[in-house]
Amino acid sequence: MNFEQLYSDFIMFHFKNNTHRGRLEDSTHTVEGSNTSCGDSITLYLTIGKGVVNAIGFEGEGCAISQASAAVMAEILEGKSLEEAAATIVNFEKMIHGEEYDGSKIGDAAFFEGLKEHPMRAKCAILPWKTAAKVLVSKQQKKTGA
């Protein structure tokens, strides 16, 4: 994979676009995650109500891939039911780990699939999702694939 494939237009668009960046004042959940092997850290703000993920915002330090991944994740999860959100996260994690996954469940996040060949950078992409999983995915869902 060359640089342009890794830093695709899709990723650079979401990195530069600055959507979903920032704290949500009315968030119901705040959760932190970090990737100690590279130093990246992220804080997610989630507004959850009536079984639905209403809004997601994020703050933190990270490379273009992790920032884009956070923005895309927020975009995809917003408006989803808790169950749909969990299924999306579980499938994204499977995709990044090179396991079989349900492509219909993850939408545009499929653009990150190539990273499964790059374990160092896959860690960057997965950080926001792993962090969201702390709130949205139960142990049971992790096992069954939601």
Chain contacts with other proteins (rule: CB under 8 A):
2-3, 6-7, 34, 36-41, 61-65, 118-121, 124
Cα–Cα distance for residue pair 140/109, rounded to 1 Å: 23
Q: Which is nearer to other proteins, 82 or 115 (CB)?
A: 115
**Measured from the CB atom, is 109 or 124 closer to other proteins?**
124
Q: Which amino acid makes up residue 82? A: L
Q: How far is the CB of 34 from other proteins (least distance, A)?
A: 8
Q: In what order do the strands lie in the sheet with 52-61?
A: 29-35, 40-49, 52-61
- Residue 46: φ, ψ to 5°: -120, 140
CB-CB neighbours of 45 under 10 Å: 21
Report, in Å, the least distance between residue 35 CB and other proteins.
10
For other proteins, the closer CB: 80 or 121: 121
- Beta carbon of residue 52, minimum distance to other proteins (angstroms, whole number): 32
Tokens of 31: 């959760």
38 versus 48: smaller Cβ distance to other proteins: 38
Q: What tokens were used for 5?
A: 């494939």
Query: Least Å distance between CB 132 and other proteins?
Result: 19
